[in-house]
């Protein structure tokens, strides 16, 4: 089983578009795709742009204290982030919601579920704290002024950077450093995935241990 993690400097930088693009380009890998959200309002309301209208009824794991929840998507219309995963060709799509600081509590249940599957692609930065990926890519957009603390914490451990076309190769937004040993993939939306990126992920996934 190979694990691919796609992170990003902030919301609205194209993380979901990168995930769906990779799923579509590598459809034969039978991905289980996972969206991770750490916003208290998502957990309280059970709704978000990440889920379809009826996903709330399909929750299969939820903490009694409502500190975290895991839901499985079944809608393939593409109207939500997790639905977009399925529409792109993922075999399964899960949404993990956790209150800030509670993601670790959800990990045992998520990891147990992922043992049943093949290759996994996750949309998150913070999950790197709990799961060692075979590939970790981070999306940076110089036009977006927001920078998550999780990006500052984990950028150095990334295998590569996906950089919106507006910056030189030496720095990202807020002078986030991009070391020379990292793969660099320049994108120009609406194209979020390049052939070079697909080849890079494919080679890394092929080297992942089996079983």
Other CB atoms within 10 Å distance of the CB of residue 43: 20
Per-residue DSSP letters for 73-101? ----SS-SHHHHHHHHT-SEEEEEEE-TT
Identify the bridge partners of residue 6 per DSSP, sorted by sequence position: 123, 137
The owner of tokens 């609205």 is 12
pLDDT in tens, 153-209: 999 999 999 999 865 544 455 567 788 889 999 999 999 999 999 999 999 999 887
Reported pTM: 0.86
pLDDT in tens, 88-101: 999 999 999 998 88
State the pairing for strand pair 68-72/92-98.
Answer: antiparallel
Structure tokens given for 24: 């579509």
Domain boundaries, the chain: 1-27+133-211, 32-117
Fold (topology level) of 1-27+133-211: Rossmann fold (3.40.50)
């Amino acid at each position: 089983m190979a694990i691919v993690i796609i992170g990003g400097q902030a919301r609205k930088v194209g993380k979901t578009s990168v995930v769906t693009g990779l799923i579509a380009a590598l459809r034969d890998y039978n991905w289980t795709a996972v969206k991770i959200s750490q916003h208290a309002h998502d957990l309280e309301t059970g709704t978000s742009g990440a889920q379809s209208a009826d996903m709330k009824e399909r929750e299969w794991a939820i903490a009694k204290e409502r500190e975290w929840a895991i839901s499985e998507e079944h809608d393939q219309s593409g109207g939500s982030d997790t639905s977009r995963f399925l529409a792109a060709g993922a075999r399964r799509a899960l949404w993990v919601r956790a209150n800030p600081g509670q993601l670790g509590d959800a990990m045992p249940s998520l990891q147990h579920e992922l043992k049943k599957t093949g290759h996994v692609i996750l949309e998150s930065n913070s999950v790197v704290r709990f799961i060692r990926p075979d590939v970790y890519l981070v999306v940076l957009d110089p036009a977006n002024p927001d920078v998550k603390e999780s990006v500052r914490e984990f950028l150095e451990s990334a295998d590569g950077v996906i950089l919106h076309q507006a910056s030189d190769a030496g720095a990202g937004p807020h002078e986030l450093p991009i070391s020379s040993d990292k793969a660099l993939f320049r994108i120009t939306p609406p194209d979020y995935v390049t052939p070079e990126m697909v080849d890079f992920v494919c080679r890394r996934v092929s080297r992942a241990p089996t079983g």
